[in-house]
């Protein structure tokens, strides 16, 4: 049971808490009432504000819409006026551009092209919007007139400024001056820079807007003419300056800082030397008659040399000028038309060069028909240069038509064919040269056929690769299809050996013309010795040795054999000095008449034989001093020794009352007489 005091206390506490809670509840009610009042006031204010905003919106929106419409109308009016002005301007284009179009683009290309652009826009407008209007025909006519004048300006500027390249500048470009230690790279300027830029600009416009390709035909025609004239000018330069060393001043078109004064280019003297020597030997024939088929081009050496050198330089000039033309063309002609235009541009000059080459071949062919085989020498330097130049030719003509690219190879093939024909016919002519008695040297010296043949072969040394290729080109074997330089060299070696063999055979036949076996031997000795010495001096011996290593020893054997054959001619002299038929006797013994006569006959036979041989052989010739001295010395030794022995044998024999009648010559006199052999001046 809870005490009473505790219950009362708890009750008071509960009542106090209840009272506090009631007070709190009353405070909350009062707060809620105030909040409700405030909320009602705010709602009232917001409702009033919303009402006013609605009134404002209803007033402003119509004004805004009206203003927006007015602005749109203003813009439309402005656009309409602008379009009207633009359209109206098209109707005035013809009138506004009339003066500029009539006066042409010369001197004001940019202004003229701007004027053409206006006309072009007018044409496009009328075509799109009013194709039936008369104004379209007017502006079309004006556009065509403008395009026509642009084409005329293109042709005019191209023609006006396109000039042939001066020969001296071409020679600089191809390195034609051998005196210059260092060849500079010469740039050729075909057109002034200002004119070039105008031409490029007109070309670009005609391609893009003019829809016209006729200007490309104009371009290749004008430039083709200048290319051909440049090469012809170089050719004329050679004709005028070939015999002199005229000084030329450089053209201003070069981009080099300095250009030294130039002499006329040096010409290779190989052909001229060979032909002059051939001519010289042919003129030294007996009785002024020629027996060899190696007839030189008389009176034409210089002219031919000039033509050869000129043609070689023109070939190089064509390559250099064509390369320069292509570089210029790429700046002016659209890319997809460049190769075709370039092909057309070079045709005239290329055809003229090929025609000239064909003429050279025809001239060589005619000369070969006349058995003038020295004419093939004109082919060698040209053919060698063509083959050296062919790689540059191929690069330059890359992209042109097959017919264009095949022209040079066809010319090379023709030259190789005619050259090989000349070489083979020359070898046959050496073998078949007729044995004409009147053409044989009376003194037994070197025959004209020998000297001419050796001279001809010596020229092949300067063109070994070319000559070998000529011979290889005619080979039908599989190895010849891809012949190497070594293969060509072996063919040339075999060919030279063949010519030498034919020459030896012919000389042997010719020698039979001589009735005197000794003169026959001297003749063959001189010719064989000349051949051997010429082979050694000219290095032909090394070339022949590629396939025939014993050629030198063979000729030495032939020479020695002919010396022995010659020495047999003295047997009729020395046979009188032998002890055969000389009677045996004792000193002081008296000889019989028959025995005395034998000794007299021996002296007489020796004296007469010696005098006869010395008289005859004094008029013979052994041009080689070393050989001449050796032959004399050998003969002196044989004859003098035999004569001295004979004199000693007969010294104590009394065979005549007049010994000086028979003993005419002392051994020293005999030696002096032999020393005068082969000496027409003695």
Is the pLDDT higher at 50 or at 282? 50
pLDDT at 267: 39
Question: Which are the contacts of 292, defined by CB distance < 8 A and separation ≥ 6?
Answer: 282, 285, 433, 448, 449, 452
Closest CA to 537 of 624, 429, 447, 425: 624
pLDDT at 184: 54
Confidence at 266, pLDDT banded by 50, 70, 90: very low
> Among 17-21, 110-114, 254-258, 470-474, whose mean pLDDT is lowest?
254-258
pLDDT at 582: 66
Question: Which are the contacts of 496, defined by CB distance < 8 A and separation ≥ 6?
Answer: 457, 460, 540, 543, 544
What's the rounded Cα separation, in Å, for the pair 395 and 319? Answer: 10
Entry field: residues in the chain: 682
Contact criterion met (CB below 8 Å) for 375 and 422: yes
Query: Within 13 Å, how many C-alpha atoms sit on residue 478's CB side?
Result: 0
What's the rounded Cα separation, in Å, for the pair 188 and 254? Answer: 6
Quick: pLDDT tens for 149-178. Answer: 888 888 988 899 889 999 999 888 888 544
What's the rounded Cα separation, in Å, for the pair 682 and 91? Answer: 114
Of 98-107, 290-299, 501-510, highest mean pLDDT: 501-510
Q: What is the mean pLDDT of residues 398-420?
A: 92
Phi, psi angles (nearest 5°) of residue 362: -65, -40
Contact criterion met (CB below 8 Å) for 296 and 275: yes
Of 257-271, 466-480, 511-525, highest mean pLDDT: 511-525
Quick: pLDDT tens for 544-566. Answer: 999 999 999 999 999 999 999 99
Quick: pLDDT tens for 578-622. Answer: 866 566 665 556 777 777 788 888 888 888 988 899 889 888 999
Quick: pLDDT tens for 657-682. Answer: 777 777 888 889 988 998 888 876 65
> Among 94-98, 190-194, 373-377, 573-577, whose mean pLDDT is lowest?
94-98
DSSP 286: G
pLDDT at 186: 64
Closest CA to 363 of 303, 408, 291, 316: 303
> Among 54-68, 229-243, 334-348, whose mean pLDDT is lowest?
54-68
Phi, psi angles (nearest 5°) of residue 156: -60, -50
Q: What is the mean pLDDT of residues 411-436?
A: 90
Alpha-carbon distances, residue 79 vs 70, 87, 92 (angstroms): 14, 12, 20
Enter the tokens of residue 413: 């093939």
* pTM of the full structure: 0.72
Enter the tokens of residue 118: 């206006």
pLDDT at 273 over 60: no
Confidence at 258, pLDDT banded by 50, 70, 90: very low
pLDDT at 490: 92
Average pLDDT of every residue of the chain? 80
Quick: pLDDT tens for 70-88. Answer: 778 777 866 765 555 455 5
Confidence at 215, pLDDT banded by 50, 70, 90: confident
Q: What is the mean pLDDT of residues 197-208?
A: 86
Residue 634: strand, helix, or coil: helix
Closest CA to 525 of 624, 412, 663: 624
């Amino acid at each position: 049971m809870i005490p009473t005091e505790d219950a009362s206390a708890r009750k008071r506490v509960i009542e106090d808490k209840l009272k506090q809670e009631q007070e709190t509840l009353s405070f909350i009610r009062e707060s809620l009432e105030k909040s409700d009042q405030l909320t009602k006031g705010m709602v009232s204010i917001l409702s009033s504000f919303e009402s006013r905003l609605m009134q404002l919106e209803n007033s402003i929106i119509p004004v805004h819409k009206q203003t927006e419409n007015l602005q749109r109308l203003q813009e439309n009016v402005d656009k309409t006026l602008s379009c009207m002005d633009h359209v109206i301007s098209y109707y005035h284009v013809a009138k506004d551009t009339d003066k500029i179009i009539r006066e042409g683009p010369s001197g004001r290309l940019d202004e003229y092209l701007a004027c053409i652009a206006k006309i072009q826009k007018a044409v496009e407008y009328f075509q799109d919007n009013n194709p039936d209007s008369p104004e379209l025909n007017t502006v079309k006519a004006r556009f065509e007139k403008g395009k026509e004048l642009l084409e005329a300006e293109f042709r005019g500027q191209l023609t006006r400024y396109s000039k042939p390249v001066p020969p001296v500048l071409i020679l600089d470009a191809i390195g034609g001056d051998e005196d210059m230690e260092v060849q500079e790279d010469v740039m050729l300027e075909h057109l002034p820079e200002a004119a070039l830029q105008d031409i490029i600009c007109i070309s670009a416009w005609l391609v893009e807007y003019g829809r016209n390709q006729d200007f490309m035909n104009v371009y290749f025609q004008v430039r083709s003419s200048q290319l051909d004239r440049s090469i012809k000018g170089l050719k004329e330069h050679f004709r005028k300056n070939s015999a002199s060393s005229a000084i030329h001043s450089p053209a201003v078109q070069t981009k080099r800082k300095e250009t030294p004064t130039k002499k006329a280019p040096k010409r290779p003297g190989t052909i001229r030397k060979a032909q002059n020597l051939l001519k010289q030997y042919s003129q030294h024939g007996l009785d002024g008659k020629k027996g060899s088929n190696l007839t030189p081009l008389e009176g034409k050496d210089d002219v031919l040399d000039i033509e050869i050198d000129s043609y070689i330089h023109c070939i190089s000039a064509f390559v250099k000028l064509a390369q320069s033309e292509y570089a210029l063309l790429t700046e002016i002609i659209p890319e997809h038309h460049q190769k075709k235009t370039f092909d057309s541009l070079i045709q005239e000059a290329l055809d003229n060069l090929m025609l000239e080459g064909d003429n050279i071949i025809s001239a060589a062919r005619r000369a070969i028909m006349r058995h003038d085989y020295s004419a093939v020498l004109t082919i060698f330097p040209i053919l060698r240069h063509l083959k050296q130049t062919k790689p540059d030719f191929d690069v330059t003509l890359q992209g042109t038509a097959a017919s264009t690219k095949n022209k040079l190879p066809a010319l090379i093939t023709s030259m190789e064919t005619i050259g090989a024909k000349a070489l083979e016919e020359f070898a046959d002519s050496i073998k078949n040269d007729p044995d004409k008695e009147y053409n044989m040297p009376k003194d037994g010296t070197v025959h004209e056929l020998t000297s001419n043949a050796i001279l001809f072969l010596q020229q092949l040394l300067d063109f070994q690769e070319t000559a070998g290729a000529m011979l290889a080109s005619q080979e039908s074997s599989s190895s010849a299809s891809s012949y190497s330089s070594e293969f060509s060299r072996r063919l040339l070696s075999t060919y030279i050996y063949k010519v030498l063999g034919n020459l030896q055979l012919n000389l042997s036949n010719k020698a039979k013309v001589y009735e005197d076996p000794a003169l026959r031997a001297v003749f063959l000795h001189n010719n064989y010795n000349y051949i051997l010495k010429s082979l050694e001096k000219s290095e032909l011996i090394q070339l022949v040795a590629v396939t025939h290593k014993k050629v030198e020893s063979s000729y030495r054997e032939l020479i020695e054999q002919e010396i022995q054959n010659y020495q047999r001619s003295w047997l009729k002299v020395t046979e009188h000095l032998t002890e055969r038929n000389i009677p045996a006797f004792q000193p002081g013994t008296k000889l019989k008449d028959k025995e005395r006569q034998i000794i007299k006959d021996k002296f007489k036979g020796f004296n007469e034989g010696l005098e006869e041989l010395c008289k005859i052989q004094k008029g013979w010739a052994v041009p080689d001093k070393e050989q001449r001295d050796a032959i004399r010395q050998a003969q002196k030794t044989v004859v003098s020794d035999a004569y001295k022995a004979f004199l000693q044998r007969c010294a104590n024999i009394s065979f005549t009352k007049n010994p000086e009648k028979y003993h005419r010559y002392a051994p020293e006199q005999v030696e002096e007489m032999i020393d005068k052999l082969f000496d027409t001046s003695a």
